[in-house]
Amino acid sequence: MSKSRDEIWSEWGELVNMAPKEIEDFLETDASKEVGVDSGDGESKGRKSAQRIVEIKHTKKDDLSDDDWDHMGKVVGYVKRHLAQGGPDEDMEHSDWRYSLMNWGHDPLKDG
């Protein structure tokens, strides 16, 4: 059973903890460009997702399209799976694990 939009909205708000400007700034870094799976055109799926996340975060909830909601659900699922894997014990700040999550709008160092 798929999640309701209310569930997606709630989890999105918790898990996508980077502001659009933070995501845009991160996309300009080498760290962002060096992690992730190539989507076939030289850019990672995470970087493409980040660009979409920025667009969604600039959109009012009532104006979100079905595709936006689908992408939000995909982002929530990715972040939850990646967090469940756990990060490195040392130097999390400079880890590919963190950088990959940041390409999906989540900075694990912002957590509690």
Per-residue pLDDT band for 22 (boundaries 50, 70, 90) equals very high
Beta bridge partners of 44: 38
Q: In the prediction, which pLDDT does 99 show?
A: 94
50: containing domain: 5-110
Q: In the prediction, which pLDDT does 40 show?
A: 72
The total domain count for the chain is: 1
What pLDDT, in 10s, does the model give residues 45-103?
A: 878 899 999 999 999 999 999 999 999 999 999 999 999 999 898 999 999 999 999 99
| SS3 label, residue 74 | helix
Tell which residue, 27, 33, 86, has the closest CA to residue 53. Answer: 27
Query: Both tokens of residue 95?
Result: 């880890």
Q: In the prediction, which pLDDT does 9 show?
A: 97
Burial class (CB in 10 A: 0-12, 13-18, 19+), 73: middle
Per-residue pLDDT band for 111 (boundaries 50, 70, 90) equals low
Query: 111 vs 27, which has greater pLDDT?
Result: 27
Query: 15 vs 44, which has greater pLDDT?
Result: 15
CA-to-CA distance for 50 and 47, rounded, in angstroms? 5
Report DSSP letters for 13-54, one per residue: HHH--S-HHHHHHHHTSHHHHHSS-B-SSSSBHHHHHHHHHH
Which residue, chain included where needed, has tokens 């975060």?
Answer: 57
